[in-house]
Structure 1
Amino acid sequence: MRRLQPGRPSEYLYGRNAVAEALRGRRRHRRLFVASGIETHGRIVALMEAARVRGIPVIVIPRSELDRMVGSVNHQGVVLETSPYPYVDFATLLDPAPESIVLLLDHLQDPQNIATLLRTAEAAGVRGVVLPERRAAGITPAVVNASAGAVEHLQITLVTNLARAVDTLREHGYWIVALEPGPNAQSLFRAPLPLPLVLLVGAEGHGLSPVLLKRADVQVIIPMLGQIESLNAAVAGSIALYEIVRRLLGQESAEKTETRG
Structure 2
Amino acid sequence: MNIIEGRKPVLEALRSGRTVHRIILAQGIREDAVIREIMELAQRNSISVQWMDRQEISDLSSGDVHQGVLAQTEAYRYKTLESIIRKAKDRQEPPFVIVLDRITDPQNLGSIIRTAEGCGAHGIVIPRRRACGVTPAVVKASAGAVEYVPIARVVNITRTLNWLKQQGFWIIGADMEGNPYYLTDLKGSVALVLGSEGRGMGRLVKENCDTLVSIPMMGRVQSLNVSVAGAILMYEVLRQRRDV
Interval of TM-score (by shorter of Structure 1 and Structure 2): over 0.9
Task: Provide the residue aligned with 1:67 in structure 2.
Answer: 58
Structure-1-length-normalised TM-score: 0.88
Task: Provide the residue aligned with 1:148 in structure 2.
Answer: 143
Task: Provide the residue aligned with 1:128 in structure 2.
Answer: 123
Long gaps (5+) in structure 1:
1-9, 252-261
User: Could you list the runs of 4 or more consecutive aligned residues of structure 1 that deviate by over 6 angstroms after TM superposition?
Assistant: none
Task: Provide the residue aligned with 1:206 in structure 2.
Answer: 199
In the TM superposition, residue 26 of structure 1 has moved relative to its aligned partner by 4.8
Task: Provide the residue aligned with 1:46 in structure 2.
Answer: 37
2:212 to 211, 219, 227: 219
Q: How many correspondences in the alignment?
A: 240
1:231 to 224, 232, 236: 224
Matched, 1:15 2:10: no
In the TM superposition, residue 207 of structure 1 has moved relative to its aligned partner by 0.7
In the TM superposition, residue 120 of structure 1 has moved relative to its aligned partner by 0.3
Alpha-carbon deviations, 1:46-103, whole Å to 9, x = none? 2111111122111122222212211432111111010111111222134453422100
- The secondary structure found in structure 2 opposite 1:157 is strand
Matched, 1:173 2:168: yes
Residues 178 and 201, structure 1, Cα contact 8 Å, conserved in 2: yes
Long gaps (5+) in structure 2:
none
2:235 to 242, 249, 252: 242
- The residue type equivalent to 1:231 in the other structure is L
- Where do 1:36-115 residues align within 5 Å? 36-38=27-29, 40-95=31-86, 96-97=88-89, 98-115=93-110
Shift of the 200–214 alpha-carbon distance from structure 1 to 2, 3 Å rule, reads: same
Alpha-carbon deviations, 1:174-228, whole Å to 9, x = none? 111111122xx21101122241100000001211112111121221000111121
Structure-2-length-normalised TM-score: 0.94
Residues 99 and 248, structure 1, Cα contact 8 Å, conserved in 2: no
Q: Which stretch shifts more, 242-251 or 96-105?
A: 96-105
1:196 to 184, 189, 192: 189
- The secondary structure found in structure 2 opposite 1:180 is strand
Larger radius of gyration: 1
CA RMSD of aligned residues (A): 1.4
> How many Å separate the matches in 1 of 2:33 and 2:117?
26
Residues 172 and 191, structure 2, Cα contact 8 Å, conserved in 1: yes
